[in-house]
A and B are shown apart, each in its own frame.
Chain A
Amino acid sequence: MGFMSSPNPEPRLTSAKIVVAGGFGVGKTTLVGAVSEIPPVNTEAWMTQTSKTVDPLSEDTGKVTTTVAMDFGRVTLADDLVLYLFGTPGQARFWPMWDDLCRGASGAVVLVDTHRLDASFAAVNYFENDSDVPFIVAVNLFDGEQTHDLADVREALQLSPHIPLVTCDARTRGAAVETLTTSLNHTMRQTANGHDVPAVR
Chain B
Amino acid sequence: MTVNPWVRPYVLTGGRTRTRHPLFVHTLVSVPQYDPGYAAQLPPEARRLYERANTAVQSVAELSAHCGVSLGVTRVLLGDMAARDRMVVNPGGYESPYDPRLLKRVIDGLYELA
Task: Identify the A interface with B (CB < 8 A).
Answer: 1-3, 5-8, 10-17, 35, 41-48, 51-60, 72, 74-75, 77-78, 80-84, 86, 100-101, 103-106, 134, 173-174, 177-178, 180-181, 184-185, 187-188, 191-192, 197, 200-201
Q: Are B106 and A106 in contact (CB under 8 A)?
A: yes
Q: Are A56 and B107 in contact (CB under 8 A)?
A: no
Cα–Cα distance between A144 and B69 once the two chains are bound (Å): 39
Q: Are B3 and A55 in contact (CB under 8 A)?
A: yes
Cα–Cα distance between A78 and B108 once the two chains are bound (Å): 10
Interface size of B by CB at 8 A reads 55
B74-114 at interface with A (beta carbon < 8 Å): 76, 85, 88, 90-94, 96-98, 100, 102-107, 109-114
Least Cβ distance of A182 to chain B in Å?
A: 10
Residues of A within 8 A of B61 (CB): 41, 43, 72, 84, 86
Q: Are B70 and A56 in contact (CB under 8 A)?
A: yes
Q: Are B26 and A104 in contact (CB under 8 A)?
A: yes
Nearest B residue to A76 by beta-carbon distance?
B109
B1-37 at interface with A (beta carbon < 8 Å): 1-4, 7-8, 11, 14-16, 20, 22, 24-28, 30, 32-33
Q: Are A57 and B7 in contact (CB under 8 A)?
A: yes
Q: Are B110 and A77 in contact (CB under 8 A)?
A: yes
Cα–Cα distance between A77 and B71 once the two chains are bound (Å): 25
